[in-house]
């Protein structure tokens, strides 16, 4: 007798690089499947922190799994040799603590920050990963919380873009 997992959540993940060509995918679209009755392993979760989704798969988990699938493919260009580099923000400026993806392959986030105390002007610029989620049959949205707290829904499409950014603000 063979037992099969009861897959009830299937999502697609697409990776883009807006700094080169925003309409061309970096890697092949990946499909990620989960059985909601089976808790997802979350090795990025540091000791002392509770999984905000109680073991359910998050958008973050799907992106990580898709990157790992791509890494297993020998002919993908650009090639991913190492697992995604991840981090945890225990003290965010707003919202709850959560995990982030710092790098996938050669696409590594970076940020320069400058502040002029005389004018009170702040500038933050760099390159980083930005996520858009498209629920099945619904309008796209950009999550305002860490993706580790963003629950997956069946049929969801996840767009993960590496892009340049520049934010300016005053005190």
Residue 130 near residue 111, CB atoms below 8 Å: no
pTM of the model: 0.87
Picking from 104, 96, 101, 160, the residue whose alpha carbon sits closest to that of residue 134 is 160
pLDDT (tens, 9 = 90+) of the chain, 171 residues, equals: 445 557 899 999 999 998 778 788 999 999 999 998 889 999 889 989 989 999 999 999 999 999 999 998 878 888 888 999 999 999 887 788 999 999 999 999 999 999 999 999 999 999 999 999 999 989 999 998 999 999 999 999 999 999 998 988 898
Residues 6 or more apart whose CB falls under 8 angstroms from that of 67 comprise 15, 80, 83, 84, 101, 104
Picking from 168, 166, 81, 92, the residue whose alpha carbon sits closest to that of residue 128 is 166
- Per DSSP (E only), the strands in the chain are 9-17, 21-25, 30-34, 85-89, 98-104, 107-108, 110-116, 121-134, 157-170
Give me the residue label for tokens 């950014």. 165
């Amino acid at each position: 007798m063979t037992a099969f997992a009861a897959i009830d959540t299937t999502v697609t993940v697409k990776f883009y690089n807006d700094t080169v060509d925003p309409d061309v995918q970096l890697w092949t679209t990946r499909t990620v499947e989960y059985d909601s009755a089976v808790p997802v392993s979350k090795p990025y979760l540091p000791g002392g922190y509770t999984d905000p989704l109680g073991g359910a798969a998050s958008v973050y988990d799907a992106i990580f799994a898709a990157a790992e699938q791509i890494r297993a493919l020998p002919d993908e260009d650009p090639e991913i040799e190492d697992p995604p580099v991840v981090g945890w923000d225990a003290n965010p400026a707003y919202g709850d603590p959560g995990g982030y993806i710092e790098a996938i392959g050669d696409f590594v986030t970076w940020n320069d920050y400058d502040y002029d105390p005389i004018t009170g002007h702040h500038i933050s610029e760099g390159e980083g990963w930005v996520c858009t989620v498209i629920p099945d049959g619904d309008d796209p949205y950009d999550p305002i919380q860490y993706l580790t707290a963003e629950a997956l829904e069946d049929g969801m499409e996840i767009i993960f873009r590496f892009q340049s950014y520049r934010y300016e603000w005053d005190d």
